[in-house]
Amino acid sequence: MIGSALGNVGSCYHSLGQYEQAQEYHRQHLELAQQIGDRSGESNALAGLGSACYSSGAYNLAAQYFEQQRQIAHDIHDRLAEANALGGLGNVCFMTGKYDQALTYHQRHLAIAQSLDHPQSLLHALGNLGNVYSATSQYSQAIECYQQQLTMAQQVGDQLGTSLAYGNLGVIAHALGNYEEALPALNQQLAIVREMGDSYREGQTLSNLGNTYSALGNHPQAIRCYQQAIQIAQDVGDRQGEANALGYLGSLYHARGQFKVAMEHHQQHLDLARSLGDIPGEGRALQGLGNAYMQLGDYDRALACHFQNLELVRRMGDMAGEGAALGSIGSVYDALHEYARAADYHQQDLVIACQIGEKRSEEAALVNLANAHSELGKYPMAVEGYQQALAIAQQIGDVWGEGLTLINLGETLTKLEQYESAIAHLEAGLKIIQAQEARGLEASAYRYLGMLYQAMGDREVAVDYFDKAIAIADELGTPLAEQCRELRSMLDQELR
């Protein structure tokens, strides 16, 4: 009785996010169970310790506890406890990027849960399996798992399981570019977890909602979601949730052209990910840092970050991550004016995006490849690529991507001397980007408009646009300011 009471107190502290206190009570439970030879109690205490360590990000220690629980459960023929321990081990492998091992553990968990016909264990196994399939871009298998999870949870009246299934389906819809489908699913999850008073999952849901609002171009709402998620994660001690939200917020600041602020958030994300042993998170943080370094003109550091990330994602078998890393490396080579090498990396990125069916990634790869083709003088190929990307952006509701593509297409049309069409595309893109408050892209649009009017011989208008670009680029601290000053200086000499 005393042992069970200690375990219950530990579980209460866990639900409050007080993981150190939870571990202390579970340790007392474990010591007592070992003293009296209560093997079942020992298994339960190890499960509590593993869960508390997992939630606090101590993944190696969690794995040790779960493995000890699994061995004891197997010895005493407690099949349900063995299944749960396998699920815990699978989750640890998932968080440390060992997806093949995670898949094996969760499949073993599912098999036992099915043999026992145990709804709760089945729900956990299906959700965890779906997470692995999602992380490895096997989206059809992931959706099948999540839909089974939702149906079963609703049948047995499991609020938590229902909320998790809605959240999982929302994340998958987001990954596939179906943002309008993602929002209602995530909002349903948010309503349920708030009703339950589950702050831990409320923070996670807010992060996922932030991602979807960001993809839809609603940056102010996305920032509010991320900031709430960070605050909640800090309040409940969810270091993993805090790390994730920091990374997401860094990426959004990057999209808005606030590269130094983005770098600060990505560095915090990287530090937390490494302290947690979160290999996938470390890769995402390196990706974000590399992108920020590139925008600030530090190309050596940018490449170092992206190649480190590429090694990590290939080791994990993360195809989506590999495509993103290849695309980022290509973008650095674009900045270094090594356009043929850049095109090769962007082509590899595009092939992967098409293979895994990620429309947003396909759109980004098409734009990047078209940029390289434009710089190589392959203008018809570039225009075709931009038009394909524009169609995808409009199809999936990617407002920010639509603005970016219109601006790049306008710049290429300038090179083709199709000035009226170029003006129309640049001004349409500028209008979208200004609405998104994406200052970095706004500066680029002004630069391209300056180059357009320079080509048309309207030097005074060109100077005005270059001045606008310089003002924003100076504010952001990007190399674009110096590039525009050089262009303006040339115009000043012509005007004299």
pLDDT tens track for 68-124: 999 999 999 999 999 999 999 999 999 888 899 999 999 999 999 999 999 999 999
Place of tokens 């977890």: 193
Through-space distance between the first and last CA atoms of the chain, rounded to whole angstroms: 93
Q: How far apart are CA 151 and CA 184, in angstroms?
A: 17
Same CATH topology for 1-77 and 398-496? Answer: yes
What amino acid is encoded at 28 in this protein?
Q
Q: How far apart are CA 295 and CA 258, in angstroms?
A: 10
Q: What is the CATH number of domain 1-77?
A: 1.25.40.10
Q: How far apart are CA 267 and CA 290, in angstroms?
A: 10
Residues of the chain with pLDDT under 70: 1, 494-496
Mean pLDDT for the chain?
92
User: pLDDT at position 489, please?
Assistant: 83
Predicted TM-score (pTM) above 0.85: no
Which are the contacts of 442, defined by CB distance < 8 A and separation ≥ 6? 257, 430, 433, 434, 472
The domain locations on the chain are 1-77, 398-496
CA atoms within 13 A on the CB side of 384: 5
- Find the DSSP H helices in 197-278: 199-215, 219-236, 239-255, 259-276
Q: How far apart are CA 185 and CA 174, in angstroms?
A: 10
Q: How many CB atoms lie within 10 A of CB 300?
A: 10
User: pLDDT at position 257, please?
Assistant: 84
Q: How far apart are CA 101 and CA 107, in angstroms?
A: 10
User: pLDDT at position 1, please?
Assistant: 65
CATH 1.25.40.10 for domain 398-496, yes or no, is: yes
CA angle at residue 155 from 154 to 160, to 5 degrees? 40
Q: For the chain, give me the number of helices (H) and strands (E)?
A: 25, 0
